[in-house]
Amino acid sequence: MPKIKLPTKSPHIDMTPMVDLFSVVLMFLMLTATMSQPEPAPVDTPFSISEKPTPNFNTMTLLLSKDDKVYLNFDNGPDTSLKYRPKILTEMGKRYNIEFNETELKAFEKYPSSMGVPISKMKDFLAAKDLRQKAAFDTGIPIDSTDNQLADWILFTRQINPNAQACIKGDSKTSYPLVKRVLDIMQDKNVKQFNLITTLDAVKINLAEIQK
């Protein structure tokens, strides 16, 4: 029987629609992806089963680093049009008799990540050119009872933006006394509800397991 030979012809698939679709998806994902801001201190957040996402705006985030420094960041969402940051800094300046000029306020507004600078060094910090120079001033916000600047920051943040929710982002190795101190300061300022920032780690237990 003679074999029927099919003509060998590589099928040519038009990939243009696929490429179009891919481009659209890629564009969408790139635009929606929130670029993670560089934090002044590396923080490994603890795990929990909570599935609530972090709020995008109206937050003040306290960063508690491993080496017991406190950093603060507020209103870092898309809500920057309300310009909370320069207002808070102006209030802080009034409280500590430091006058901040227009460029310094602008620099503070633009600063993308948490800051941990005593108010006395704030001018130098804002004048610093690049991130490396700025990092030298990151000594943490003073929380001693004699020089409790964190309490003032929280007070003014809540005066300027009453909706600000307190988020605590701590490293799992942060010592408890520091956490306790920060919680106490917040409680003194009448902040009662806290959001602890954690990483999701789903745990499921079932009834049969317990009854064993």
Partner 1 sequence: MAEIIQEEKAGGKKKAKKHAPHIDMTPMVDLMCLLITFFMLATAFSKPKIMEIVLPERQTDPNAPTPRIAASRTMNILLGPDNKIYWYTGNVKPEEYNSPPPLNETNFSATGIRKLLLERNRALFKKIDFVSNEVVTGKLVISQDSLKGSIRQLKKDDDTGPIVLIKAYKKANYGNVVDIFDEMNICGVAHYMLVDITWYEEKMVETAAGIAPTTPTPAKK
Q: Quick one: CA dihedral 83, 199, 41, 72, positive or negative? A: positive
Closest CA to 113 of 68, 73, 161: 73
CB nearer to partner 1: give 2 or 11: 11
Q: How many residues does the chain have?
A: 212
- Residue 170 is encoded by which pair of tokens? 């701590």
- For partner 1, the binding residue among 12, 78, 97, 144 (CB under 8 A) is 12
Closest approach of partner 1 to the CB of residue 118, in Å: 23
Q: Tell me which stretch binds partner 1 (CB under 8 A): 51-59, 96-104, 115-123, 127-135.
A: 51-59
Amino acid found at 55:
P
User: What burial class does residue 24 get, using C-beta atoms within 10 Å of its C-beta: 0-12 exposed, 13-18 middle, 19+ buried?
Assistant: exposed
The CA distance from 51 to 48, in Å, is 8
- For partner 1, the binding residue among 3, 4, 7, 34 (CB under 8 A) is 34
Q: Does 54 bind partner 1 (CB under 8 A)?
A: yes
- For partner 1, the binding residue among 48, 58, 90, 148 (CB under 8 A) is 48
Q: Are 58 and 211 in contact (CB under 8 A)?
A: no
Q: Which residues from 143-182 bind partner 1, rule CB under 8 A?
A: 167, 169-180
The CA distance from 22 to 10, in Å, is 24
Closest approach of partner 1 to the CB of residue 197, in Å: 5
Q: Does 53 bind partner 1 (CB under 8 A)?
A: yes
Binding site for partner 1 (CB under 8 A): 10, 12-13, 15-16, 18-19, 22-23, 25-26, 29-30, 32-34, 36, 45-55, 64, 167, 169-180, 183, 187-188, 190, 192-200, 203, 205-207, 210
